[in-house]
A and B are shown apart, each in its own frame.
Chain A
């Protein structure tokens, strides 16, 4: 897949990689933009300037140590809980689909959906104010009624790739799903 011009819905560059492990197994990884040094510096400088201003007013050194701790803790919380490094979709024919997002701190959050619960993988469009956003989602069967859809699970929520990339992923998924 040519990934020079792939962007997400906001226009940031993303990287997409597709691996074919076998006839039955494909893995698609979408990686978002990395944590930029500029934003970290801006955030740190902003917080420390504010703290220094407060220190000048109150002459209390606790304000400065508070600011340092706040910056460190905030940064750690951000990279561990919020900043998604890459998201991947592993589709194994007749077994199921595995979704995993790994965060900037290395933490991985995985979930596996069995093939018997999947009805189909589709591209849906969402109308949000003045924009139309396309997203890929998995339709999950209702255990009571096999022809009804009980829930919709959207994929690539943090990377939000555009339609061109989604179509490629969709084709890959349908090739595998067609066989099972």
Chain B
């Protein structure tokens, strides 16, 4: 309801009164007493873990700590340190021991002093002591700085002069598995090298995602260390997934070899002669073939996708290719079931005949007195006979081809097994070939009309005594001779009175051509949709929404006296429209080349229109 202009006005208002607000804003006064809030990201799976050491990572810029796992008693400190160094070398993550976790069971007393002693064994700048009591849901947290200065998590007044008494703690619970698998949008690839300006949430997600070697040890291992994390109940794996992974490598190699053979075939010199190349650039079948080859090359590359966007692109292309093939096979099953294709072929020639008959009737109507308008008889007869002769030629060719049509159609129909998009492209090409005569008529009519319009405009200028100055690109006055004016006026009159006839022919053929173009445009739109729709990403968004995250949501958990604030962090998935925006496969989408106004102007003047422009993938 509030429109943009008031917002703009008020933004100006903000700018203007910024100086006045400095006095009123209370933030300025309290800036010196900035409270240091420590945020601890704690995995949900560890809230019921036995007592032990907290292992994780500090994020210094944002003053937060991410807890990744809990190492249980009994352990040997040397082994813990060795294990952490090993993991640190495998991943990019700066793993350290953050502190201790105590959840005393029945009959376990006297852990406090033991826990305090632990802080001397592991090097730290801050040591966290989280403890949870049975029966209570919240846990308490105590932060110890290096040098043994003991600080409470909530400073009470009158406790004496403790340095940094304003240190507060917020504990944020997160679901480790979901955060590990999720990807924040907009995706920033390669940002791990530049840690500056990274937001806290991105740092947390990045840390958890990178530390997957840490999650390989589970509770039932015989090793020296026992950890609790999201996978500590045992690693889940599926035999089918493993088999598919193993089997996909040779399949990919084979596919790559076949595709390289195919592209070598496509690039041999015989096929690269200019006329062939021109035709193949106009035929949408060849374009679609080239496009699919490119897709398959992306999918079948044996290099594993390391980045998220690359993986999603591969997956999207693979799934849409499978769907395409499935739809194509369905189409074949439907077409060949009751010999429908034979029926289609046998109706093709009568349909072509019918169209030719309709066109001839149309031309004869134009040659008479169409819509009551009086045409110039001579020009009318010439144009009409010219076009009728063309139609006669066309029909003769169709009749020449008719014995072979069924066989051609049968084999072309089989090509739908390469995918529904291929079948639709073939349909579009067939329509283009069958209506080639309409295209020819349109070109003749348009050229004639265009010539007439230019001639008329030039002679109109002569009639008024003006001339077009090519050098200055403007209209200048000019003095003509008497005979120039005479001939000019004569020609002008002739052209003017012949204008309605030409204009009518032009109008009729342009309308026919536009109908065909519209139909082809619809087919291309369908093909484009099938090519570019990100099915895998959409499926992921519907079935596993936490994988594609736009941000996070917080929920306040229990509030008990004496415990710091507990929040539950959940993943906020991206909107469906955002899925399309991020993951749409770039294609040679055809979109209108001109705006409506430009198109109308071109039609009026008689310029040939090519309404759809094909964007190549390289410029995308």
Residues of chain A at the chain B interface (Cβ within 8 Å): 21-25, 27, 90, 92-95, 98, 100, 110-112, 114, 116-117, 120, 122, 124-128, 133, 135, 139, 143, 149, 152, 154, 157, 174, 177-180
The total of chain B residues at the interface (CB under 8 A) is 38
- Give, as a whole number of angstroms, the nearest-CB distance from A27 to chain B: 7
B556 A180 Cβ-Cβ under 8 A: no
Offer 22 A-B interface pairs, CB within 8 angstroms, sorted by A: A21-B556, A24-B168, A24-B565, A25-B556, A93-B37, A95-B172, A98-B554, A110-B572, A112-B572, A114-B200, A114-B201, A116-B200, A124-B7, A124-B11, A124-B14, A125-B13, A126-B10, A133-B6, A154-B7, A174-B25, A178-B30, A179-B35
- Give, as a whole number of angstroms, the nearest-CB distance from A35 to chain B: 19
CB-nearest residue of chain B to A160: B1
* Partner pick for A126 among B9, B170, B554, CB 8 A cutoff: B9
- Give, as a whole number of angstroms, the nearest-CB distance from A112 to chain B: 5
Interface SS of B by simple majority? mixed
B473 within 8 A of A: no
A112 B554 Cβ-Cβ under 8 A: yes
B27 within 8 A of A: yes
- Give, as a whole number of angstroms, the nearest-CB distance from A10 to chain B: 10
In the complex, which residues of chain A have a beta carbon less than 8 angstroms from the beta carbon of B10?
124-127, 152
- Other than the given A92-B567, A116-B62, 13 more pairs (CB < 8 A) read A22-B559, A25-B170, A25-B567, A92-B565, A95-B37, A98-B554, A112-B553, A122-B21, A124-B14, A126-B9, A127-B6, A152-B10, A180-B37
B3 within 8 A of A: yes
Q: A21-B559, A114-B199 are in contact. Are A128 and B39 (CB under 8 A)?
A: no
Residues of chain B at the chain A interface (Cβ within 8 Å): 1-3, 6-7, 9-11, 13-14, 21, 25-27, 30, 34-35, 37, 39, 62-63, 168, 170, 172, 197, 199-201, 551-554, 556, 559, 564-565, 567, 572
In the complex, which residues of chain A have a beta carbon less than 8 angstroms from the beta carbon of B553?
98, 100, 110, 112
| Bound complex: CA A94 to CA B14 (Å) | 24
A27 B14 Cβ-Cβ under 8 A: no
- Give, as a whole number of angstroms, the nearest-CB distance from A114 to chain B: 5
Q: A21-B556, A92-B554 are in contact. Are A126 and B39 (CB under 8 A)?
A: no
| Bound complex: CA A169 to CA B2 (Å) | 20
| Bound complex: CA A90 to CA B552 (Å) | 13
| Bound complex: CA A94 to CA B559 (Å) | 19
* Partner pick for A135 among B2, B9, B199, B552, CB 8 A cutoff: B2
- Give, as a whole number of angstroms, the nearest-CB distance from A121 to chain B: 10
A90 B9 Cβ-Cβ under 8 A: no
In the complex, which residues of chain B have a beta carbon less than 8 angstroms from the beta carbon of A128?
1-3, 6
A24 B170 Cβ-Cβ under 8 A: yes
In the complex, which residues of chain A have a beta carbon less than 8 angstroms from the beta carbon of B25?
120, 174
B11 A152 Cβ-Cβ under 8 A: yes
- Give, as a whole number of angstroms, the nearest-CB distance from A28 to chain B: 13
B168 A23 Cβ-Cβ under 8 A: yes
| Bound complex: CA A94 to CA B40 (Å) | 12
* Partner pick for B565 among A22, A117, A149, A154, CB 8 A cutoff: A22
B556 A154 Cβ-Cβ under 8 A: no
In the complex, which residues of chain A have a beta carbon less than 8 angstroms from the beta carbon of B200?
95, 114, 116
Q: A24-B168, A124-B13, A125-B10 are in contact. Are A90 and B37 (CB under 8 A)?
A: no
Query: Which of A23, A94, A149 is most buried by chain B, counting CB atoms within 10 A of its CB?
Result: A94
CB-nearest residue of chain A to B555: A90
- Give, as a whole number of angstroms, the nearest-CB distance from B164 to chain A: 14
A90 B14 Cβ-Cβ under 8 A: no
In the complex, which residues of chain B have a beta carbon less than 8 angstroms from the beta carbon of A98?
553-554
* Partner pick for A133 among B2, B35, B197, B551, CB 8 A cutoff: B2
